[in-house]
Amino acid sequence: MARSPLVSTDPRDWMRRTRLLLVVLLAILLVVAGRLIWVQALEGPQLASDARDNRTRTYAIQAQRGEILDANGEVLATSVQTYNLGVNQQLITSYEARDEDGEVVGTGISAAAERIAPILDVDPAELGALMVGDSTFAYIARDISPAQWRQIRELGIIGIEPEAAVDRLYPNGNTGGNVVGFVGRDGVGLAGLELSYEEVLSGTDGSTTVEIGRDGQVIPGATREDVPAVQGRDVQTTIDRNLQYECQRIIDEAVERHGAAWGAVVVEEIGTGRILALCDNNTVDPGNYQDSAPEDRGSRAVTTPYMPGSTGKIPTFAMALDAGGVEVDDEWLTPDRITMPNGQEFRDNDSHDPVTLTTAGVLARSYNTGLVQIGDTVPIDVRYDYLQRFGLGQRTGIELPGESSGILAPYESWDERQNYTSMFGQGLALTLLQSTSTAATIGNGGVRMDPHVVEAVEEVDGTMTPTPLLDGQRVVSEESAADTLAMMEGAVSEEGTAQLAAVEGYRVAGKTGTAQVPDENGPLSGRVGTFIGVIPADAPEVAIGVVMYNADGASYGSRVAAPVFSDVAEVAMSHLGVPPSTEPAPYLPLEPGVEWGPQ
């Protein structure tokens, strides 16, 4: 049979085909080897990293927030361990609920929800709806207690996982809420010291990273990385919790009784600037801050300036004694109306016959017509300098957010009338904190101390570092301050305007104030009543300021603010253990030849 011409019997053809086949096989092997080298040597690390990322999960470990304490170490804000509850929605479907005999009595999501719901006190159907999906971690409950988590863990339900969290607690309700502030749902400070000391209190969150299997379960013995959380540090305040509670109660009752728009009280320790109580009516409860109107979540004593009225006369009297050559027994003819050299006319609140009063008498009876004569002894630029030294028109630096500097325009911008109205607390605005500081300066022998609410801050090593007590600024001489304080006692005497500020057993020095304020429609139809005072006047311990804004009726400071001072001062003296006064009040003439003495 003849062979096909396509099939060669030449050995050389066979060898050529063999070599070609070997070349092709070798090329294939080289391509495969090259690919392996590329995958393992070049892409390998990245692929391994991607695979590891796909099977790892990182859980945040929330740092426990530092505590906020009162002056005596009592807790005002603290944190407790809680848990957020999550579910692996893919894994939970394979759950089998068994009875005591090991028999399957339910499966999947519905069975899991039926067992967990009673512990969380929720509806099983609503809980089950949260478990439906394909996520490997979805939240089904937040801020559950450790006891609740232990109960759930004992159920042994596959796919239920905890996430450690921290809950913020305020054990005293709204006591000091305006100072402490509050945190948001994310645990970050939103107001008060929680906001201004966020960096100190918050600490640094940690984390736990684990490897998980295909069904979302943690792989035993696999890579695990723990980064511990750094706990926040404590902040101790100057606030006395018990005094704060009583102070808030008193101002709440006064605001309700007089129908005021709002009221506030400040209690400052003389000589240190420590704020022992900072009280606003209707104070926010930090644990339920959403229930309070935004305007009630801070401290109006710090953020809201107002015209002080006659309490603003105190700096004028002090500077006149200090720089104007005025003496406490100088005599001033005080009609109920007076026209000053620049043509501006001023009058007193009530009509009266012309009367000659001493400097002390002008303060005791709060006559504007006498005050403008006394203030005129001090040049305008010198008066402005004194007002600044008293702290007017500038923030005190208190450690709370939103502090107002008040309003004190440069004297160059004052018109002919403001030149005088600034002497008796109009044409400028103060916060209650600034006004109280003015009284504290007089009680401290003429030296102004910066008010503060933070006593100490915890360091990283756990020690508490006290707030440095800075040197005060001398505003007036010690003699001028003592004379001013003595004249302020006259205002609380039976001859003065502030008889309702008296405290049985204690000498009180103070001053009332009343100024017109706009109503909600704009006209000046309302009043702000104020009182600032020092107790005991013979050995000053605290300065107390009171403001009652837009109360019903006449709402003079003598009627609505002075009694609040008396109530708060009585509580403060008892709480601080200050003994009653033993020295008699000074005898100062209010009218020529007419003296006042102890009540």
Cβ count within 10 A of residue 56: 16
CB 277 within 8 A of CB 544: no
- Tokens read off for 476: 């007036």
- Tokens read off for 255: 């605001």
3, 50, 273, 376 from 320: Cα distances, Å: 139, 80, 25, 9
- Tokens read off for 463: 């020690």
Strand ranges inside 459-551, DSSP E: 464-466, 473-474, 509-517, 526-535, 542-549
Q: What are phi and psi of 197, to 5 degrees?
A: -115, 30
| Closest-CA residue to 62 (of 232, 276, 239, 179) | 232
The helix or strand, by DSSP H or E, that contains position 52, with its residue range, turns out to be helix 44-54
Determine the number of helices (DSSP H) and then strands (DSSP E) in the chain: 19, 27
Write the burial class of residue 138 (CB in 10 Å: 0-12 exposed, 13-18 middle, 19+ buried): middle
Q: Please enumerate in sequence order all residues whose Cβ is within 8 A of that of 349, keeping only pairs 6 or more positions apart, or say none.
A: 368, 514
CB 374 within 8 A of CB 363: no
> CA 561 from chain center: how many Å?
25
CB 252 within 8 A of CB 281: yes
Residues serving a catalytic function are: 310
CB 503 within 8 A of CB 570: yes
Cβ count within 10 A of residue 43: 12
Q: What is the largest CA-CA distance in the chain?
A: 163
